[in-house]
Structure 1
Amino acid sequence: MNMCIKALGLWGIILLLTGCGDKKAGQQQQGPPPPTPVTAVKASRENAVYFDQFPANVTAVKEVELRPQVAGYITGMHFQEGSRVRRGQKLYSIDQQQYQASYDQAIANLNATKANLVRAQKDAERYNTLAQQDAVARQLVDNAQATLASAEQQVAAAQANVRQVQTTLRYTTIYAPFDGTIGISQVRLGAAVTPGQTLLNTISSDDPIAVDISVDESQISRFTQLQRRPAAPRDSLFTLELPNGNLYSYPGTIQTIDRAVDPQTGTLRVRLNFPNPEGQLKAGLNGNVRVKNNTGSQQLLIPYKAVTEQMSEYFVYVVGDSSKVTQKKVTLGTRISDKVIVKDGLTEGDLVVTEGTQKIREGAVVKVN
C-alpha cells in the first residue's frame, strides 16, 4: 500500500515538472510581438489657399416702402407688379378732386389779393403825390401806406397757401423714387388710404445687390485691409454660395464695414456688393460667402485622416526612433480638401501615421509600408 502511494506521488512530481518545462519553453518561443504595419507620410509645408465661409443674407442696397401722404381712394395703378421701374415713373393715383378744388380756390384767393394790392398801390401813389403838394392830410398818406403793406402781406400769404395746396395736389400721384424692382401691391383700386399709415408697395434696388455677413471682432483688421485692396478684374476674393450649393457667377467686393461691434455677439457687420444683371439674387435670400484666404506663406499640412479627436482635443501618431510611435497633441487650422493646416504640435518632416491608427498605442513599434 505504502509503495503504491509513493509511486503515485513520484509520478505527480514528474508530471508537474514536465508541465512547467513546457510552459517556459512556450514563453521562450513566443518572443516580442511583430511590428504593426501602418501607412505614414511626412508633414510638409505647402501653399495654403482656402476659403473661409460666413453665413450671409442678401439685402437691397436701397429699399423704400411707399406710403401715401394724403388721404383718399386709389384711382389708378400704373405699373406691373414685380417689374422694373424707373426713377420718376408714375405708380399710383389717389382721387384728387377735393385737392384740385382746394387748389383752384387758392388760386382764386391769390388773384383777389393781387387785385387788392394793385388798388392799394394806386391809392398810395395818389396820396403821396397830393402830400408833396400839401393837398392832403398826413394821416391819409399813412393810412394808404399801411393798406399797401397789408395788401402785400396778404398776397404773400395767398402765394404760400397756393404752394401748400399745390404740394398736396402733387402728393395724389406717387412716383418711383429710384430705379429698382417694385413688389406686389398691398392695395387695389378703390381702396381707401391713410397718410403715413397705409403700405402701398415696396421698391428695392437690385443691381448691384448687397450681401451682409457678420465677422468676429478678431478679423476686423483683415477685412479692413481687404476693403482697401483694389479689386482686380475677375477677382474671386469673395464668392457667394447659393442655397442649392452652387456658386454665384459674379464675384463681390466690400461696400462698407459697420461703424461698431455688436457688444452682445462680438461680431461686426460687413456689407458686400454683388452684380445682379439677371436678377438672380433676391432680397432675403440666405447663403454663404466664401472669402479667399491666401496667407502668402507656406503652411504645415498633413492628411486630415491622420487626426484623432479625444475630448475636443486633437492628436496624431508620429513615428520616431526605433520605429516607435508617439502620440502628439496638435492645434489645427483650416481644413483644405483632404488636408488640414497644423498650427502647433508638429515640425516639418515629422512622419505622421495616416492609416492603422486604431491598431497602435503609445510606444508601439510599427512598420511603415
Structure 2
Amino acid sequence: MKSTYTYCIAALAILSVSACKSKSDKQNAAPPPTSVNVVEANKSDALYYDKYQGTVVALNSVELRSQVSGFITGIFFKEGTVVTKGTPLYEIDKRKYEAAYQQARANLISAKANLSKAQKDIDRYNMLLKSDAVARQTVDQATASFETAQSQVAVAQAGVESAATDLSYATIRAPFTGRIGISQVKLGAQVSPGSTLLNTISTGNPIGVDVVINEQDINRFYRLQKNSTDSTFRLQLPDGSAYNHTGKIFAIDRGVSDQTGTIKVRVQFPNAKDQLKDGMSCVLQVLNDESGNRVQIPYKAVTEQMGEFFVFIAKDTIAEQRKVILGPRIQSNIVITDGIKPGEKVITEGFQRLRDGGKITLGAPSGAAAQGGAGAKSGTQPK
C-alpha cells in the first residue's frame, strides 16, 4: 500500500514538471512576424509656398477735394465706373469765378492801354530832348510812368491767371484714368476748399497686394525682386479660390519698423477682370526656397512622439524606426527633408504594433483599412 502511494506521488511530480516546462517554452517562444505594407520613398517635384496675410491696395489712389468754395451744381459721372483722365466729374457754381475772370481781363486791357500811352509819351519826350525842347525832369517823369505802367500790366496779367485758375478749379476733373467710388456729396451741397471730401478715384489694373514680413526675410525678398519666375507669387482669394494670375514685387518699403521689426512689401498683380478690389483681404503665397525635387512619402506613415516625428523602414524582415524631419504636406504625401533616402521602403500599414527591430513580413495586415488612416496622430500637421 505504501509502495502504491509512493508511485502516485512520483507520477504527479513528473506531470507537474512537464506542465511547467511546457508553459515556460510557450512564454519564451518569439512572437510571430507582423504583417505590413510598404511603399518605396521616391523623389518628385514638390512646389510649396509660404503664406502671408495680405491686403489689396490700388497702386494709385486719390481723394478728390475742392480747391474753391461754393455749391455743387453738376455731377457728371456714374458712380463705381471707370473714368478717363481729364473727364469732368463735378462742377461748383462758377458764376462768381467767371465774373472775377472777366474783371481781371478788363484790368489787363486797361493796364496795357496805360502802358501804350506811357510808351508814346516817353518816345515823344526823348525826341524833344534831343533838340532841348523839353526839360530833363519831364523826361525822367515820363520814364517813371512808363515803368509803373509796365508793372501794372504784370500785376493785371497775374490777376488774369489767378482768376483763370480759380475758374478752372470750379470744374473738378479726373486726374488719371481709374475707377471712381460713390459720391460723398450731392447736388446743391456746399463745399469748402481742401476740407470737403467729394469722392475717391483709384487705379485697378494692375493692382498691388501689401504684406508685412519679418526683417529676417528682407534679403530673400530682395533676391526675389531681382530674380523671380511666374510661379514665385500666387494669390488666394477670400473665398479660398486661387487667383489665376501670378505677380511680381512692385516695391519694398524704405525701412524696418523699430517697434515691430517688420517691413512692408508690395506685390503687383494684373487685374484686367477687376476681381481684386482695393481693401480686399487675401493670402499671398510665396514659393519656398526649398521647393524642387524632394523625397516624398505617404503622410499616413508618419507617427509623432513627444513633438518628434518617426517612420518605420523595412530592412528585409526587420523594422527599423527612423527619426525624420518633415517639410510641407502636399495632398496625401509629406516632404521629408532629412532622415530617408530615395529607394528605402517605408512601412505604411501595420506599424502600429511594431517596435524598433521587430520582425515583419510583407502583406496586407489585418484591419489594414482601419489602421491606414490611424497613424498615431496622423492629423498632426508639421510646423
TM-score category (smaller protein): 0.7 to 0.9
- Residues 161/190 of structure 1: CA separation in 2 closer, same or farther (3 Å cut): same
- Residues 337/218 of structure 1: CA separation in 2 closer, same or farther (3 Å cut): farther
Tell whether the 8 Å contact from 2:319 to 2:354 is kept in structure 1 after alignment: no
RMSD: 3.2
**Counterpart position of 1:58:** 56
**Counterpart position of 2:188:** 190
Once the 2 structures are TM-superposed, how far is the Cα of residue 86 of structure 1 from its aligned partner?
0.5
Q: Does the alignment pair 1:364 with 2:355?
A: no
- Secondary structure of the structure 1 residue equivalent to 2:133: coil
Once the 2 structures are TM-superposed, how far is the Cα of residue 295 of structure 1 from its aligned partner?
5.9
- Secondary structure of the structure 2 residue equivalent to 1:79: coil
After TM superposition, the score normalised by the length of structure 2 is 0.82
1:71-220 equivalences under 5 Å are 71-220=69-218
**In 1, Cα distance between equivalents of 2:157 and 2:253:** 46
- Residue deviations 1:301-355 (CA, integer Å, cap 9, x gap): 22222222334332223344750432x3322222222222222233333333222
Which 5+ residue runs of structure 1 have no aligned equivalent?
1-7
Give every structure 1 segment of 4 or more consecutive aligned residues whose post-TM-superposition deviation is greater than 6 Å: 10-17
Once the 2 structures are TM-superposed, how far is the Cα of residue 365 of structure 1 from its aligned partner?
3.0
- Residues 19/335 of structure 1: CA separation in 2 closer, same or farther (3 Å cut): same
Q: Does the alignment pair 1:27 with 2:21?
A: no
Q: Does the alignment pair 1:253 with 2:248?
A: yes
- Secondary structure of the structure 2 residue equivalent to 1:200: strand
- Residues 287/20 of structure 1: CA separation in 2 closer, same or farther (3 Å cut): farther
**Counterpart position of 2:376:** none
> Of 306, 312, 319, which aligns to 2:307?
312
Once the 2 structures are TM-superposed, how far is the Cα of residue 222 of structure 1 from its aligned partner?
4.6
**In 2, Cα distance between equivalents of 1:284 and 1:246:** 18
Tell whether the 8 Å contact from 1:106 to 1:162 is kept in structure 2 after alignment: yes
**Counterpart position of 1:276:** 271
- Residue deviations 1:124-143 (CA, integer Å, cap 9, x gap): 12221221111222112111
Tell whether the 8 Å contact from 2:317 to 2:361 is kept in structure 1 after alignment: no
- Residues 230/28 of structure 1: CA separation in 2 closer, same or farther (3 Å cut): closer
Q: Percent identity?
A: 47
Q: Which moved more, 1:138-147 or 1:81-90?
A: 138-147
**In 2, Cα distance between equivalents of 1:289 and 1:318:** 37
Tell whether the 8 Å contact from 2:180 to 2:202 is kept in structure 1 after alignment: yes
Q: Which moved more, 1:247-256 or 1:135-144?
A: 247-256
> Of 318, 337, 342, which aligns to 2:336?
342
- Residues 284/12 of structure 1: CA separation in 2 closer, same or farther (3 Å cut): farther
- Secondary structure of the structure 2 residue equivalent to 1:65: strand
**In 2, Cα distance between equivalents of 1:157 and 1:322:** 104
Letter in 1 for 2:309: Y
Once the 2 structures are TM-superposed, how far is the Cα of residue 26 of structure 1 from its aligned partner?
1.5
Tell whether the 8 Å contact from 1:325 to 1:365 is kept in structure 2 after alignment: no
Q: How many residues align?
A: 360
- Residue deviations 1:10-68 (CA, integer Å, cap 9, x gap): 99999798657534421312422222223232333223233443333222121111011
Which 5+ residue runs of structure 2 have no aligned equivalent?
364-383
Letter in 1 for 2:124: R
Q: Which moved more, 1:64-73 or 1:34-43?
A: 34-43
- Residues 341/259 of structure 1: CA separation in 2 closer, same or farther (3 Å cut): farther
Once the 2 structures are TM-superposed, how far is the Cα of residue 187 of structure 1 from its aligned partner?
0.6
